């Protein structure tokens, strides 16, 4: 069955590339992005040793705004040739009122434009399967896992390891990677069709206060991927070695089911969070309404998914499973499950939520939906 992935809210998957102020400029409602080599070549010969220019090239993550000078500043001062303004390599929407030359964290882009890495989808599938597996095994199994991981033999291992690998008679874990089918699972990268990108400013909401986050480039809501087969490629030669509890999930109908279930519980957790932690400066009503819309869209046939940066601390897989089965135990033990564990007074998970756009019209990050292609 062929699918497309449709973006429901801005998706940012950091590529490792960070744009310095010297490699972009703002024009109208757009951010024009340039190749650093083109910028360097466009510096006028008489200005190559300009102190201000050299400081801008050397400055990284400085909080002193006087060093944040974008490309147009140096063009207007006659330090860089005006012709470089026509050599931009990318143009994206600007959703930030005042970029002030801040660094921009880029999303994943290949020669065809923005894309969702197969490794990201693989991580999502792994999370959903582990989550469902934990729910099926029950709270007593999870309590045993937590006890083991806090023991001398269990230090350095995760709940994932506890599920996947064998515990020997001497209490030590035998970590045989051939028991882990995820390591041999392949999901291909998927390219976006409309290639719509925007620049946003993250805000971090920490229950009672707001903190500035990064400036990020994200795939815009409404963009969608090329068609792809939602299939799992597994090394058949190793099939007999795989963990049998996990390998049975590697069927399309099971994958869709666990993705739907995990998203259902995550969305419900988000709704409860924003209903509980209201703030006079944050429009939580709009956030809850958007989450309820995601909730309505989420189905086994077309599951909503959440990918990329800003979706929550990794421990939400185990933490949410424990909280769903035994909240009292969860509140007692979360500090032994998650690191760092400084959440709120009750160790409520996760500690923070990230959003983009204004506090009056906030948007959560990372929501998308898998839709079947008819015909």
pLDDT at 313: 38
Q: Using pLDDT thresholds of 50, 70 and 90, give the confidence band for residue 340.
A: very low
Confidence of residue 214 (pLDDT cuts 50, 70, 90): very high
> C-alpha distances in angstroms, 178 versus 30, 181, 245, 289?
49, 7, 14, 44
Asked whether residue 255 carries a pLDDT value surpassing 50, the answer given is: yes
Of 156-160, 173-177, 354-358, where does the model show the most confidence? 354-358
For 164, counting Cβ atoms within 10 Å of its Cβ (0-12 exposed, 13-18 middle, 19+ buried), the class is buried
Query: For 223-249, what is the mean pLDDT?
Result: 77
Beta carbons within 8 Å of 200's beta carbon, 6+ residues apart:
10, 12, 95, 96, 215, 216, 217, 218, 356, 357
Please report the pLDDT score of residue 176 as a whole number.
80
pLDDT on residue 323? 83
Mean pLDDT of 273-296: 94
- Which pLDDT tens digit goes with each residue over 127-153? 899 999 999 999 999 889 888 988 999
Q: What is the mean pLDDT of residues 29-52?
A: 83
Spatial contact of 94 and 199, defined as CB atoms under 8 Å apart: yes
Cβ-contact 41, 23 below 8 angstroms: no
99 alpha carbon, distance to own chain's centre: 22
Q: Taking 80 as the threshold, does the pLDDT of residue 179 lie above it?
A: no
Task: Reply yes or no on whether the pLDDT at 318 is more than 60.
Answer: yes
- Highest averaged pLDDT of the listed ranges 78-82, 235-239, 272-276: 272-276
Residue 349's pLDDT is what? Answer: 58
Helix (H, G, I), strand (E, B), or coil: what is residue 114? strand
* Per-residue pLDDT, 41: 87
CA distances from 146 to 111, 154, 246 (A): 45, 9, 20
In this prediction, residue 332 has a pLDDT band, given cuts at 50, 70 and 90, of confident
Q: What is the pLDDT of residue 219?
A: 98
Residue 119 has pLDDT above 80, yes or no: yes
Q: What is the 3-state secondary structure (H, E, C) of 155-178?
A: CCCCHHHHHHCEECCCCCEECCHH
């Amino acid at each position: 069955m062929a699918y497309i992935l449709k973006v429901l809210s801005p998706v940012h998957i950091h590529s490792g590339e960070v744009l310095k102020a010297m490699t972009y400029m703002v024009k109208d409602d757009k951010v024009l992005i340039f190749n650093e080599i083109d910028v360097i070549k466009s510096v006028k010969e008489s200005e190559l040793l300009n102190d201000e220019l050299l400081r801008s090239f050397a400055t990284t993550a400085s909080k002193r705004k006087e060093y944040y000078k974008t490309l147009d500043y140096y063009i207007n001062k006659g330090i860089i040739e005006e012709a470089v303004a026509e050599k931009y390599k990318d143009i994206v929407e600007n959703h930030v009122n005042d970029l002030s030359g801040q660094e921009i964290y880029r999303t994943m882009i290949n020669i065809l434009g923005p894309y969702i890495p197969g490794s990201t989808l693989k991580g999502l599938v792994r999370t959903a399967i582990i989550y469902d597996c934990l729910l099926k095994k029950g709270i007593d199994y999870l309590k045993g896992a937590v006890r083991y991981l806090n023991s001398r033999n269990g230090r350095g291992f995760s709940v994932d390891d506890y599920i996947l690998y064998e515990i020997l008679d001497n209490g030590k874990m035998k970590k045989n990677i051939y028991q882990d089918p995820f390591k041999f699972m392949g999901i291909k990268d998927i390219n976006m069709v409309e290639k719509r990108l925007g620049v946003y400013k993250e805000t971090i909401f920490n229950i009672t206060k707001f903190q500035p986050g990064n400036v990020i480039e994200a795939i815009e809501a409404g963009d969608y991927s090329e068609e792809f087969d939602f299939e799992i490629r597994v090394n058949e030669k190793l099939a007999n070695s795989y963990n049998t509890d996990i390998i049975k999930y590697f069927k399309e109908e099971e994958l869709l089911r666990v993705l739907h279930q995990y998203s259902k519980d995550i969305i419900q957790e988000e709704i409860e969070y924003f209903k509980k932690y209201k703030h006079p400066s944050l429009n939580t009503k709009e956030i809850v309404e958007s989450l309820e819309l995601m909730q309505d869209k989420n189905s086994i046939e077309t599951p909503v998914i959440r990918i990329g940066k800003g979706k929550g601390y990794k421990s939400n897989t185990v933490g949410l499973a424990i909280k769903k089965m035994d909240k009292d135990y969860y509140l007692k033990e979360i500090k032994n499950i998650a690191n760092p564990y400084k959440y709120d007074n009750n160790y409520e998970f996760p500690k923070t939520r990230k959003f983009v756009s204004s506090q009056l019209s906030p948007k959560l990050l990372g929501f998308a939906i898998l839709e079947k292609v008819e015909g």
